[in-house]
């Protein structure tokens, strides 16, 4: 069986390359027979991190990249000024057929821009999308889009649903994932022009479309996939990320009021 080659941006995300290398090692150990990982970034820093783990894995290699695109860099400008960045080098590996996929926890805008410019779009896909996994009381729901495309047209939401359906089927084994459209009401007539027109397209698509859901339904597990434009999706994602922090501070404040409350 041919191994899948995945290039990983070892300089992306918080505390790089520590977390990136640690995650790569876990994946490489679990999938020794089917996965090959190429760590891309500052070679000396990556090798130092690999040595800390004192483990020799034949399915991990390193490709040097001298530059790092930070979270504060402009996506378009950084691709011009930092052509030897870990993001550019990693995506070039895919372009040159030396890797099958590229993963980065770094600058999302730079990854998206570089992917479009260097790899192009799949036929039939007008806009890229970012999906985020939300836990629900029935398992999990993926929301597409959560920030890649903030100004969408109805056909883009249809494309997100198609890509999301393929993803859920192949990654999570859901044969016919249920797809819902995020709106301000469950009725077909509810929503702005974007959602009303997208509803018509999804209804005729042949996908397992179950209609509209509201914001309160995101965590209820009514659908496997929820589709919306990136502006709305990103607001939902950032709000959800804040909930846990608020809950933790509220619990702590309550517990600090006395010993019995702490118990």
CA-nearest of 159, 65, 153, 155 to 110 is: 65
Which own/partner contact pairs does 86-89 have at CB distance under 8 Å and 24+ positions apart? 86/9, 86/10, 86/11, 86/12, 86/40, 86/41, 86/42, 87/9, 87/12, 87/111, 87/114, 88/114, 88/118, 89/40, 89/63, 89/64, 89/65
How far apart are alpha carbons 147 and 259 in whole angstroms?
A: 44
The pLDDT of 46-67, averaged and rounded, is: 90
Q: How confident is the model at residue 138 (pLDDT cuts 50, 70, 90)?
A: confident
The pLDDT of 130-153, averaged and rounded, is: 91
pLDDT at 1 over 70: no
Q: What is the pLDDT of residues 156-212, one digit of tens each?
A: 999 999 999 999 999 999 999 999 999 999 999 999 999 999 999 999 999 999 999
pLDDT at 71 over 70: yes
pLDDT at 86 over 80: yes
Q: How confident is the model at residue 14 (pLDDT cuts 50, 70, 90)?
A: confident
% of the chain residues with pLDDT over 70? 100
Q: How confident is the model at residue 237 (pLDDT cuts 50, 70, 90)?
A: very high
Question: pTM of the predicted model, to two decimals?
Answer: 0.82
Give residue 27's pLDDT. 94
141 against 262, higher pLDDT: 141
């Amino acid at each position: 069986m041919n191994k899948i080659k995945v290039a990983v941006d070892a300089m992306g995300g918080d505390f790089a390359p520590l977390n990136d290398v640690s995650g790569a090692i876990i994946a490489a150990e679990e999938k020794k027979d089917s996965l090959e990982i190429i760590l891309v970034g500052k070679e000396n820093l990556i090798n130092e991190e690999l040595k800390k783990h004192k483990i020799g894995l034949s399915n991990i290699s390193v490709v040097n990249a001298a530059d790092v695109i930070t979270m504060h860099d402009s996506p378009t400008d950084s691709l011009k000024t930092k052509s030897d960045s870990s993001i550019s080098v990693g995506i070039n590996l895919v372009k040159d057929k030396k890797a099958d996929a590229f993963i980065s926890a770094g600058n999302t805008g730079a990854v998206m821009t570089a992917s479009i410019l260097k790899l192009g779009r799949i036929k039939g896909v007008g806009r890229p999308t970012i999906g985020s996994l939300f836990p629900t009381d029935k398992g999990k729901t993926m929301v597409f889009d959560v920030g890649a495309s903030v100004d969408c047209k109805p056909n883009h939401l249809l494309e997100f649903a198609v890509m999301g359906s393929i993803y859920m089927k192949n990654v999570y084994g859901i044969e016919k994932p249920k797809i819902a459209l995020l709106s301000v009401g469950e009725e077909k007539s509810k929503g702005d022009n974007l959602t009303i027109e997208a509803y018509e397209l999804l209804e005729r698509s042949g996908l397992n479309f179950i209609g509209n859901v509201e914001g309160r339904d995101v965590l209820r597990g009514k659908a496997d996939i929820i589709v919306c434009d990136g502006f709305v999706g990103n607001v939902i994602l950032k709000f959800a990320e804040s909930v846990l922090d608020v809950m933790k501070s509220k619990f702590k404040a309550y517990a600090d009021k006395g010993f019995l409350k702490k118990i």
